[in-house]
Homo-oligomer: A and B are copies of this chain.
């Protein structure tokens, strides 16, 4: 992996990397539709978690672009002048595409590569436009968070046979050190072997976690966590805690399952072409083995706020719903 970085030095240690799952922030069965109610709640929770322990109280709008039907911006400059500081603890946000980008990518087969085919080349362009517009809407709504878009393709990230080949995180580190919240997303990227492919948000998270060593990672999804079978089934059991060993292998420690070695059945939205729930646990285990706690939790609930605030690091409350994946020595 040519990552051009061996020693990442952050001014302030990074607190958290958050994945906003596509299924949690878009309407998965409707083409290019944001789940606005969820996204507003998620944004508020993110802001609350980032401001934790900080003196900056009021929510200051940072999207000064005009609104439909208006001819000028409504920004109140004086509000900012009254504000003493604008400090946020160090977060990185990665969002999935959900119902954005998926149609374009699957129609054209961008993930299979072959840029010499007009359909694939056009699909690459179309996918990038779609995932970037999601992004714009997300940062537009995430008011009060000083977020800056950092599109992996633009950052020069590329793959070889779908594995990360080049992913210099220095631009992300500089943005963090300047007090911004970098926002990345699953993207169409160039692939040294295939020509092009899709780089998923989950792969981006693993890479950033390994290099930035956050205190914890939160996956916000549309179910309460990881279950032992599809969560819609009547006897589905939420896996509350998964222990990860040094070699990355993992097992469920709470609840105690009758057959703890059995394969967890896959429960994942059908449009998630980037991997199912087993893939998700395995990716989470790769993060957890670095000593980084991973929480998989339903977005826009009291449980997600608890996870984002970092309170689970000390003690997991009995009434908390979600899955904790962490290293045991």
- A31 / chain B contacts, CB cutoff of 8 Å: 66, 71-73
For this complex, into which size category does the number of interface residues on chain A fall? 35 or more
Whose C-beta in chain B lies nearest to the C-beta of A152? B154
| Binary CB contact string for chain A from 148 to 177 against chain B (1 if under 8 A, 0 otherwise) | 111101111010000000001011001100
The residue that A140 contacts in the complex, of B121, B129, B195, with Cβ under 8 A, is: B129
Whose C-beta in chain B lies nearest to the C-beta of A153? B148
Those of A189-242 within 8 Å (CB) of chain B: 190, 195-196
The residue that A146 contacts in the complex, of B83, B125, B179, B190, with Cβ under 8 A, is: B125
The residue that A86 contacts in the complex, of B84, B107, B121, B168, with Cβ under 8 A, is: B121
With contacts A133-B136, A154-B171, A174-B158 taken as known, whether A126 is within 8 angstroms of B64 at the C-beta atoms is: yes
With contacts A107-B77, A119-B81 taken as known, whether A156 is within 8 angstroms of B171 at the C-beta atoms is: yes
Assembled-state Cα–Cα distance A63/B85 (Å): 41
**Is A10 on the interface with B (CB-CB < 8 A)?**
no
- Taken together, the copies of this chain in the complex come to 2
With contacts A80-B122, A156-B155, A156-B168 taken as known, whether A65 is within 8 angstroms of B129 at the C-beta atoms is: yes
Decide if A129 touches B139 in the complex (CB within 8 Å). yes
Whose C-beta in chain B lies nearest to the C-beta of A191? B178
| Binary CB contact string for chain A from 64 to 82 against chain B (1 if under 8 A, 0 otherwise) | 1110000111010100110
With contacts A64-B103, A64-B126, A132-B136 taken as known, whether A190 is within 8 angstroms of B168 at the C-beta atoms is: no
With contacts A72-B31, A118-B60, A174-B158 taken as known, whether A125 is within 8 angstroms of B151 at the C-beta atoms is: no
**A113, chain B: closest CB distance, angstroms:** 11
Whose C-beta in chain B lies nearest to the C-beta of A80? B119
**Is A130 on the interface with B (CB-CB < 8 A)?**
yes
Decide if A126 touches B158 in the complex (CB within 8 Å). no
Those of A243-299 within 8 Å (CB) of chain B: none
Those of A78-122 within 8 Å (CB) of chain B: 80-81, 83-86, 103-104, 107-108, 115-119, 121-122
**Is A36 on the interface with B (CB-CB < 8 A)?**
no
With contacts A64-B103, A66-B31 taken as known, whether A178 is within 8 angstroms of B149 at the C-beta atoms is: no
Assembled-state Cα–Cα distance A77/B119 (Å): 7
Decide if B156 touches A122 in the complex (CB within 8 Å). no
**Is A30 on the interface with B (CB-CB < 8 A)?**
yes
- A30 / chain B contacts, CB cutoff of 8 Å: 71
**A153, chain B: closest CB distance, angstroms:** 7
Decide if A122 touches B154 in the complex (CB within 8 Å). no
Decide if A150 touches B158 in the complex (CB within 8 Å). no
Assembled-state Cα–Cα distance A129/B143 (Å): 12
Q: A125-B148, A151-B151 are in contact. List 20 more A-B contacts (CB 8 A).
A: A31-B72, A32-B65, A62-B122, A62-B129, A63-B126, A65-B104, A65-B129, A81-B118, A81-B119, A86-B118, A115-B178, A125-B147, A129-B136, A129-B140, A132-B136, A154-B154, A156-B156, A175-B190, A178-B190, A178-B195
